[in-house]
Amino acid sequence: MNERQLPIIVGVAQYTNRSPDTADALEPLEMMIKVARRAEEDAECRGLLERLDSVSVVNILSWSYGDAPGLLAEAVGAQPTDGIYTTTGGSVPQWLINRAVERIVRGEARLALVAGAEAVRSRVRLGVSVRERWSPRMRPQAIAGNALPANSEIEIRHGANMPVRVYPLFENAIRAHRGRSIAEHQERLALLCARLAQVAKDNPFAWFRDGKTAEEIRTVTPDNRLICFPYPKYMNAIMEVDQAAAVIMTNVGTAQELGIPRDKWIYIWGCADAIDLWYFSERLNYYSSPALALVGRRALEMAGLSIDEIDWFDLYSCFPCAVEIARAMLGIGEDDLRPITLTGGLPYFGGPGSNYSLHAICAMVERLRREPQRKALVSAMGWYVTTHAQGIYSGLPPEREWRRADSPQDQAGLDAMPHPTLVEAARGAGTVETYTVVFDRAGEPEFAIVVGRLEDGSRFIANTEPDPELLRWMTQEEMVGRGAKVRHDADTARNIVSIE
């Protein structure tokens, strides 16, 4: 490949609005306009935005626009021929980068912008007055990505219908798989989270910069109440933030023509994306991710690197288990001292809807500009360890031809993986595969979600009886592997399990 065709990032920008004054509240579109213009300034090339031929916008949770890419393009003076708005998912920013650079390599685009913003905090604070302050809310005209609902009906029926309730299922399975006691595992989680918090402490764009200690993170208090066992509040992603980010991409030839300084260029060495079996109740187990492992192999293969040659990582970190699974699938040891986040992670940097990883990419670009010989890997994840996208970056040009290593056959293989059959109306004896206990805002246990296997190997999802004593016992003793009996309640269409 001609070096002039190599895709590069040339401009990045981030914005965080912590102002307590609602008069300072910006809607997501305004925030994206701000970071797009700042990214142009960062590239040191006037008129760059006017030349854009591709504009992509990450799904926005806090507000909706009929045509977010079109509105953003119009505001910055661009007339792109390619505009895309995505479905929800934390892997989306890296997926959009992957898509944009592939179009650049194929000659379908010369200059591309990827932007995203969330204003959940301002949306909550403004209340009903937001309708007068922000642009008219409209249903998006077109959405790219997997439009399936995040949860199946049977998952929803048993309360396993949001990340704060599903990720703990993975965490408890990981603990049991690794043979650790509850106390030992909680200590390890706290140390992992403290490692993230220390990075956020030094990041001017992070939402929480207090650098929480492991003891603060693991100790349950009124301010750090249990959300869903085993996670207290400080181990959960914080979504009530106002944050935005933007990335401008082009190729070497265009950057040279426009006079973009060489020290602004960051090369994309490798990229890949894939999806695990869509519903979490279909997964092979709850301590691994075949898609994440495959994406890692393909991105490294494309870059011509081994995992040991990567200097820095930003591993998606909505909850500790996301980091643990990524490390295991990529072959990064728990005692590895290389950075696992460049931002501080979603519980401390902030979790701006689907847009966190765009901030990670921006942080990575700024770090690589200072040390261009380094290699960095960003691993993004969506929904329930479901969607995955990765990128490998460096300040030096890649040493091999730019060609994606993943293929449609990869996804077909993942889709065809054998997995347990889920029994909707379960009855009989079995064992607990994983579980969590859901707590209310007062810190009291409400109900438990249990995933188990019947004697024939099929899977069930169930709830326990709402017995506070039982629920507290489930947070003190290991439940994974215990015998269980399940019955189906026809009135509620739920399975009810008792644990031995």
Q: Where in the chain are the domains?
A: 3-148+239-415, 160-235, 428-499
Q: What tens digit of pLDDT does each residue of 25-37 get?
A: 999 999 999 999 9
What is the residue-wise DSSP string for 234-250?
Answer: GGSPP---EEEEEEEEE
**What pLDDT score was predicted for residue 1?**
63
Mean pLDDT of the chain: 96
Other beta carbons less than 10 A from residue 374's beta carbon: 16
pTM of the model: 0.97
Position with higher pLDDT, 235 vs 131: 235
Q: Which CATH number fits domain 428-499: 3.40.1180.10, 1.10.3720.10, 4.10.520.10, 2.40.50.840?
A: 2.40.50.840
Respond yes or no on whether the N-terminal peptide bond of residue 290 is cis (omega within 30° of 0). Answer: no
Reply yes or no on domain 3-148+239-415 having CATH 1.20.1250.20: no
Candidates 54, 82, 102, 58; CA nearest to 271 is: 102
Mean pLDDT of 457-475: 96
More confident residue, 143 or 236: 236
User: Are the C-beta atoms of 209 and 203 separated by less than 8 Å?
Assistant: yes
Q: What is the pLDDT of residues 409-419, one digit of tens each?
A: 999 999 999 99
329-339 core/surface letters (b: 16 or more CB in 10 A; e: else): bbebeeeeeee
| Alpha carbon distances (Å) from 200 to 345, 363, 404 | 7, 12, 33
What angle (nearest 5°) sits at the alpha carbon of residue 13, between those of residues 11 and 17?
A: 170
Query: What is the number of alpha carbons within 13 Å of residue 202 lying toward its C-beta?
Result: 7
d(CA 437, CA 257): 59
Same CATH fold, 428-499 and 3-148+239-415?
no
> What mean pLDDT comes out for the span 95-119?
97
* Cα–Cα distance for residue pair 390/376, rounded to 1 Å: 10
In the Cβ-directed half-sphere of 98, how many Cα atoms lie within 13 Å?
A: 27
Per the CB < 8 A criterion, the answer to whether 282 and 399 are in contact is no
Distance of alpha carbon 127 from its chain centroid, rounded?
Answer: 27
Has residue 400 got a pLDDT over 80?
Answer: yes
Distance CA 97, CA 358 (A): 9
Q: Could you tell me the maximum CA-CA distance found in the chain, to the nearest angstrom?
A: 71
Could you read off the pLDDT of 50-65 as tens digits, one per residue? 999 999 999 999 999 9
